[in-house]
């Protein structure tokens, strides 16, 4: 902490990074040479209706070990972001109870900033679901229209989480998923799917030890179609 000043209803804290904390952003080595500074301002959690900002001179250093030249990491902010981690957590907590527009208006930031915070959290939380604990999964496709076509969805039937979304509805759509599943060493016991031959073949090839369960909806649908055809044939013969 260096000092604080007040401008147009905002509080701005000036802080300084300790030279002993300077490390390479690439390898973490302390053997670095200063290559200049960049003034940066970060938005912090507001106090009441007063906006709070933190100003700091961020050092740019060259690592003597790996040769990397980068800005040093700021412990209270994520890379390439103009707000602190605590501000990010505060915005996410508000998002549980308020719309994006309301959060943006309350915090004095743009709609895009709040949306970016939410999107980054969702990517961190759901982008790469763990496959190692999968036991029972379901495979199906959804149709998005003539422009977008089909998507193949894989769901964890125990948790309800979607673990894979792939373009298309052919067997090759899940090639990367099967590869990741093998690497995870998951012990899948059962796979539920519709009666599409492509999915059935893919399951038997990639999970030969898993029970293949045909979707109840599609079985009843096929049964009703056969029954309707039989009724029409009987009606024609009458």
pLDDT digits (tens, 9 = 90+) for 4-13: 999 988 999 9
pLDDT of 187 above 90: yes
pLDDT at 45: 96
Beta bridge partners, 165, equal 153
Under 8 Å between Cβ of 121 and 87: no
**pLDDT value of residue 198:** 86
DSSP symbols for 4-59 = EEEETTEEEEEE---GGG---TTT--S-EEEEEEEEEEEEEEEETTEEEEEEEEEE
Segment 171-177 mean pLDDT? 88
pLDDT greater than 90 at residue 129:
no
Say whether pLDDT at 92 is over 90: yes
- The whole-chain average pLDDT of the chain stands at 91
Give the model's pLDDT for residue 14.
95
User: Which of the four pLDDT bands, split at 50, 70 and 90, describes residue 18?
Assistant: confident
Contacts of 49 (CB under 8 A, 6+ apart): none
Mean pLDDT score, 97-110: 95
Report, as an integer, the average pLDDT of 29-39: 91
What percentage of the chain carries pLDDT values higher than 90?
63
- Give the pLDDT confidence score for residue 199 in this predicted structure: 87
pTM, full prediction: 0.61
SS3 218: helix
| pLDDT of res. 178 | 93
Taking residues 155-166, what's their average pLDDT? 90
Mean pLDDT is highest, among 85-94, 118-127, 195-204, 218-227, for 85-94
By three-state DSSP, how is residue 86 classified? helix
Three-state DSSP class for 62?
Answer: strand
For residue 180, what pLDDT is reported? 92
pLDDT at 93: 97
Residue 147 banded pLDDT, cuts 50, 70, 90: confident
Q: Which residues pair with 138 in a beta bridge?
A: 155, 192
pLDDT at 127 over 80: no
In the predicted structure, residue 136 carries a pLDDT above the cut 80: yes
């Amino acid at each position: 902490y260096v000092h604080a000043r007040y401008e147009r209803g905002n509080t701005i804290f000036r802080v300084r990074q300790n030279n002993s904390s300077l490390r390479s952003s690439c390898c973490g080595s302390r053997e670095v040479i200063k290559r200049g500074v960049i003034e940066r301002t970060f938005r912090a959690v507001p106090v009441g209706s007063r906006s709070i900002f933190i100003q700091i001179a961020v050092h740019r250093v060259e690592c003597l070990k790996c040769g990397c030249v980068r800005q040093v990491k700021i412990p209270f902010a994520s890379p390439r972001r103009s707000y602190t981690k605590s501000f990010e957590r505060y915005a996410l907590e508000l998002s549980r109870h308020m719309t994006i527009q309301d959060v943006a208006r309350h915090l004095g930031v743009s709609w895009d900033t709040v949306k970016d915070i939410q999107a980054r959290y969702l990517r961190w939380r759901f982008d790469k679901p763990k496959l190692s604990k999968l036991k029972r999964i379901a495979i199906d496709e959804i149709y998005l229209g003539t422009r977008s076509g089909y998507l193949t969805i894989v769901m964890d039937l125990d948790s309800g989480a979607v673990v894979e979304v792939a373009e298309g509805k052919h067997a090759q759509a899940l090639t990367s998923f099967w590869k990741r599943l093998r690497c995870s060493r998951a012990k899948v016991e059962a796979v539920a799917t519709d009666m599409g031959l492509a999915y059935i073949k893919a399951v038997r090839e990639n999970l030969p030890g898993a029970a293949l369960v045909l979707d109840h909806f599609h079985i009843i649908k096929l049964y009703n179609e056969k029954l309707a055809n039989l009724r029409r044939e009987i009606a024609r013969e009458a």
